[in-house]
Structure 1
């Protein structure tokens, strides 16, 4: 089962990870890119395949040249996972007069 740290090209549920990678890089849901590629596939198949493979190479090159340092560091990933719980527990106590 793929985890959040599994590289896009090694995941079993993606084809080159183009839409997922573009979604992560741009900040949009990957389904928008998937719908766009599907529409382009029906409209112009050679253009869609060329664009998909070209963007796949681009996404792979960007992942290789500029890896995500937060995902590469297991210590930071654990700290980030526990940060919301720590923030809730570190809240200032409510004075007894304000609580009543």
Structure 2
């Protein structure tokens, strides 16, 4: 089972910030430059935590994770967005990448 997480970060150092962005970009969808939505299993969450902790300076940086719940339940409905769409519309018949 996967849960939906909102992950936001405030990284002081440019190199660390770029590395964190690349790691999260490979695991989720960017909602803002430093805010991602990721659908993660428990094991994926643990690997992500390990990957980020190797990069972060826990005395200077901050990462906030919000668990919105199961992807198939409340998690997919718990967020609201105003303005420009979070995702580009999918063409009818195009494969969905999850």
One fold, TM greater than 0.5? no
Q: Which has the higher strand share?
A: 2
Normalised by the size of structure 1, how large is the TM-score?
0.26
- Identify the structure with bigger relative contact order (alpha carbons < 8 Å, sequence gap 6+): 2
Q: Which has the higher helix share?
A: 1
